[in-house]
A and B are shown apart, each in its own frame.
Chain A
Amino acid sequence: MTKPRRPREGSRLVSFTLRLGALLAFVLRPFGVDRARFLALLEVRLLEDIGRGRSAAAEQRPGMFHGGMVMTLVMYLLFGVFLALVLFHVGEPLAALTLVLGVVMIFVTMTLASEHIGTLFETTDLDVLGPLPVDGRTVLASRVAHTLLYFLLLVGSLGLLPLVAGTMRFGWPFAPTFVLALALATANCFGLALLLLVSALRFVAPARVRSVLLFLQIGGALIAFASMQILPMLGEVPTAWLVAHDSWWPWLLPPAHGAALVVSSVGSSPVLLDGLPAVELAVPPPQVGLVVLAFAAPCCLLGAIALMASSFQSRLAGMASSERGTVRPARRAWLRDRLLRNDEARAGYDFFAALTARERQFRMRTWPGIALAWFLAGWCVFRSSSGTGGGPAPAMACTGLYVVGVMMPQILLFTRFSDHWQARWLFRIAPLRSPAMFVHGAVVALAARFVLPVILLTLVVVLIVGGLPIVLDALYAALVVALLSLLALLHGERHIPFTRKFHPSEVSGALGRTLLFLHFAAALALLHTLVRRHTAALVGLSVAMAVLVVLQVRALARSLHQPARVKLDWDDERDERIAKRA
């Protein structure tokens, strides 16, 4: 009973992962995790992944190694180029490694906050697990192990090139300690976030847990982003200078602990100040304590999580059941009836509008991103006004608007997922004359009740912070963003919303695409900077953008009626096979 069960489909990946899981189960046993049940639950989750992956090849379906996931891994790998350059160019290893590990921790936090909370706190399998004799800790451990598999791949991609660069610069001892430091950094970050989430589940009233989780998610994304602003300061200010001036605060940064571990093994090179060797930096005595802390922290976190997670399943069930109650009928008919004439389209509008307000997957994936965009808008305005002293730089101030714009394709993607995807049988047996009309209503609801209000609100934020001098710039940026959103709606794949089962690999791809789209925001901000040198050019372009927006609205209205553009590609047989296997 103690050996990992043989995978039913002989997948080497499942087999290999279960061996890793067996090791993890050994570590987790003192914390109350039942090894056999843990491996059984982990195997189910992996088999579901693999099942989807297999069908991916034949049916263009998302799977663990579907294009989205591969794309994300490639993106992370490419981002590792910058980290490798940091290791080569920042003179002091401690500073360089702190920077590298800090970036890794930020990525881990952002990925966890934006994507994986849904998987960790999934409630759809409670009906299955509820009657089974399995402890809450074991259920949580299996979910964490499953999620960590994705983090292993992502952190591996991100750290590969820094590993190569560091080994070239510092020699072979660098490699094992760097890998260990990466693992500790990931474990600390993940553990801390998980502790917060599990504590919320334990101590917050069931009816409010979802909201608290959402706020934690938004907070996590914002803290991760704010951390990104602190890290470059370490690159700019050599650690030796900080040590010499008794600056203690960098040692409080968790990435510094892992960096100290690596530096302890490879030694510190002379610190260059103004290009000259200034001081031979030895690992200071407090660092030894920090290295110990780097090891001790995951153990403490693990213990605390285990303590909190004893009632994980029952609290989760309480959370799921507490959301059920009477819902006040929404007043959305006025706007809907003016925007849409067709009954099927109106049905799509109401269906979408009702679920966007309540659907957990949509709320948890969308709002942190929107909050980040608003935070970015405020941050950019703040940075630009403090930097120039003469009011905010308009292009910078409008960055938040651009970020909202480039998020729209992702929001469109998120409308596909639902915890209750099996309810799509309704659409299977419905005599929908034109699925396009139904989706038309949903797209109109997305535009009218979500995209436009978000853009307008962001515009208001930008104008309040930036003031009158940036009215024209903000207007131009808002038009560009509206155009981007329309293009996303026009060219994005169309599906009946809330009919797909959520899977981490699909959203990992979404994150990869978001990172890619962020470059569009940067490019648009750059174009904006170039154009605004001539007010007439900016006015002219604004008019052109307005015309393009009108044309795109018309194109969108025309295209929405084309049935061929709506994908009804659910594979019930495959999903039922997976469900039965699970």
Chain B
Amino acid sequence: MADPEHPPAPAISLRAVSKSFAGNPVLRGIDLTVPRGQVIGYVGPNGAGKSTTVKILVGMLSAFDGEATVAGCDVRSRPLEVKQRIGYVPEATAFYESLTVHEHLLLVGRMHGLADALTTARATRMLAAFDLEPRLHSSIGSLSKGMRQKLLFTGALLHDPEILFLDEPLSGLDVQSTVLVKELVRGLAGAGKTIFYCSHILDVVERVCDRIAVLQAGRIVADGTFAELVENSRSGGTLEQVFLELTADSGAVQRAQALLDALGEGAA
């Protein structure tokens, strides 16, 4: 029974978080609170600061201004507790290529304190669901991009985390796997997991997320449910239209023409 006087800490909380790389501001005072069990879509154009936000939240970047907590734990002062409770599917898939799939998952499992038998059992079932079980003893170097993405998912879910950070999770996946991941996200949300979902694929965000935050040049320019975003926008309709309006990028046709013109330059 929830105690109304002591509400549970939010799953994710960012307070005035700013981050610069070599003097270039990437995040400019982000404020965001994500309650437990919510699936939040975090969208924005390239370079808006989505991956930087995720790296701060998963404890990969500790030098930033402001406050960030995950599962009630400060990511700077209690990074281990944060890491114990989260799963992370990064945007870039770097692996130790000569490890096998099984060795990689054992490594991840042991670092999360799982017994080898449990890791192997879970990994086998999850890999089977991803049609990856026959590759259990293959070196990671032999996997395709989509298979690596599935391996990242398996590694991120292996310890049954409370909060899942997905950074472009559908990258490289085939249609069947994309559908599988969408269903998986819905299922995890139904099981009470919090999911922080970064993506450029807006129709998927529109369908699977309870709430959407739009990031532009390091600032959150809109935050709400899909219906709220559409209601508050002038261009209405789809999330793509709302996104283009919010990110001041309605001149795509003109810019495409400029690109085509540039191709012809000098040819005459």
Indicate whether A327 sits within 8 Å of B138 (C-beta atoms), given known contacts A420-B96, A425-B90, A429-B83. Answer: yes
- Most chain B CB within 10 A, of A431, A438, A572, is at A431
Interface stretch of the complex, out of A170-178, A220-228, A340-348, A388-396: A340-348
Query: Which residues of chain A are within 8 angstroms of B202 by Cβ–Cβ distance?
Result: none
Query: Which residues of chain A are within 8 angstroms of B112 by Cβ–Cβ distance?
Result: 430-431
Query: Which residues of chain B are within 8 angstroms of A359 by Cβ–Cβ distance?
Result: 98
Which among B61, B81, B111, B115 is the interface contact of A430 at CB below 8 angstroms? B111
Closest residue of chain A to B114 (Cβ to Cβ) is A343
Q: Is the CB of A428 within 8 A of B60?
A: yes
Q: Is the CB of B94 within 8 A of A423?
A: yes
Complex interface bits, A411-439 against B, C-beta within 8 A gives 1, otherwise 0: 00000001110110111111111000010
Complex interface bits, A219-260 against B, C-beta within 8 A gives 1, otherwise 0: 000000000000000000000000000000000000000000
Per the 8 Å Cβ criterion, residues 38-70 of B in contact with A are 58-61, 63
The reply on A284 being an interface residue by CB < 8 A is: no
Q: Is the CB of B107 within 8 A of A323?
A: no
The reply on B110 being an interface residue by CB < 8 A is: yes
Query: Distance in Å from the Cβ of A330 to the closest Cβ of chain B?
Result: 9
The reply on B88 being an interface residue by CB < 8 A is: yes
Q: Is the CB of B98 within 8 A of A323?
A: yes
Query: Which residues of chain B are within 8 angstroms of A491 by Cβ–Cβ distance?
Result: none
Q: Is the CB of B60 within 8 A of A429?
A: yes
The reply on B137 being an interface residue by CB < 8 A is: yes
Q: Is the CB of A350 within 8 A of B94?
A: no
The reply on A325 being an interface residue by CB < 8 A is: yes
A382 and B60 CA atoms in complex are apart in Å by 56
The reply on B225 being an interface residue by CB < 8 A is: no
The binding surface of chain A is classed by DSSP as: helix
Query: Which residues of chain A are within 8 angstroms of B142 by Cβ–Cβ distance?
Result: 324-326
- Most chain B CB within 10 A, of A354, A426, A573, is at A426
A347 and B83 CA atoms in complex are apart in Å by 17
Q: Is the CB of A328 within 8 A of B98?
A: no
Query: Which residues of chain A are within 8 angstroms of B84 by Cβ–Cβ distance?
Result: 431
Indicate whether A420 sits within 8 Å of B113 (C-beta atoms), given known contacts A350-B103, A426-B108. Answer: no
Closest residue of chain B to A353 (Cβ to Cβ) is B103
A375 and B106 CA atoms in complex are apart in Å by 39
A561 and B115 CA atoms in complex are apart in Å by 21
Complex interface bits, B17-49 against A, C-beta within 8 A gives 1, otherwise 0: 000011000000000000000000000000000
Q: Is the CB of B83 within 8 A of A329?
A: no
The reply on A12 being an interface residue by CB < 8 A is: no
* Chain B residues touching A, range: 35 or more
Query: Distance in Å from the Cβ of B184 to the closest Cβ of chain A?
Result: 20
Query: Distance in Å from the Cβ of A549 to the closest Cβ of chain B?
Result: 30
Q: Is the CB of A420 within 8 A of B139?
A: no
A422 and B95 CA atoms in complex are apart in Å by 7
- Most chain A CB within 10 A, of B21, B90, B99, is at B99
Q: Is the CB of A358 within 8 A of B98?
A: yes
Query: Which residues of chain B are within 8 angstroms of A429 by Cβ–Cβ distance?
Result: 58-60, 83, 86, 88
Which among B80, B90, B103, B113 is the interface contact of A354 at CB below 8 angstroms? B103
Closest residue of chain B to A323 (Cβ to Cβ) is B141
Query: Distance in Å from the Cβ of B167 to the closest Cβ of chain A?
Result: 11
A572 and B51 CA atoms in complex are apart in Å by 14
The reply on A208 being an interface residue by CB < 8 A is: no
Query: Which residues of chain B are within 8 angstroms of A577 by Cβ–Cβ distance?
Result: 21-22
The reply on A498 being an interface residue by CB < 8 A is: yes
Query: Which residues of chain B are within 8 angstroms of A320 by Cβ–Cβ distance?
Result: 141
Query: Distance in Å from the Cβ of B197 to the closest Cβ of chain A?
Result: 17
A355 and B139 CA atoms in complex are apart in Å by 12
The reply on A351 being an interface residue by CB < 8 A is: yes
A323 and B107 CA atoms in complex are apart in Å by 21
A444 and B33 CA atoms in complex are apart in Å by 45
Query: Distance in Å from the Cβ of B87 to the closest Cβ of chain A?
Result: 9
A573 and B63 CA atoms in complex are apart in Å by 10
Which among B81, B102, B108, B141 is the interface contact of A324 at CB below 8 angstroms? B141
New A-B pairs, 4, CB < 8 Å, besides A420-B96, A431-B81: A347-B107, A351-B107, A429-B88, A430-B111
- Interface residues, chain B, with chain A CB atoms under 8 Å away: 21-22, 58-61, 63, 80-84, 86, 88, 90, 92, 94-100, 102-103, 106-108, 110-113, 115, 137-139, 141-142
Closest 5 CB pairs of A and B: A347-B110, A324-B142, A422-B94, A431-B83, A358-B98
- Interface residues, chain A, with chain B CB atoms under 8 Å away: 320-321, 323-329, 343-344, 346-347, 350-351, 354-355, 358-359, 418-420, 422-423, 425-433, 438, 498, 572-573, 577
13 CB contacts below 8 A, A to B, read A324-B142, A346-B110, A347-B111, A354-B99, A418-B96, A420-B94, A423-B96, A427-B111, A429-B59, A429-B86, A431-B112, A572-B60, A577-B22
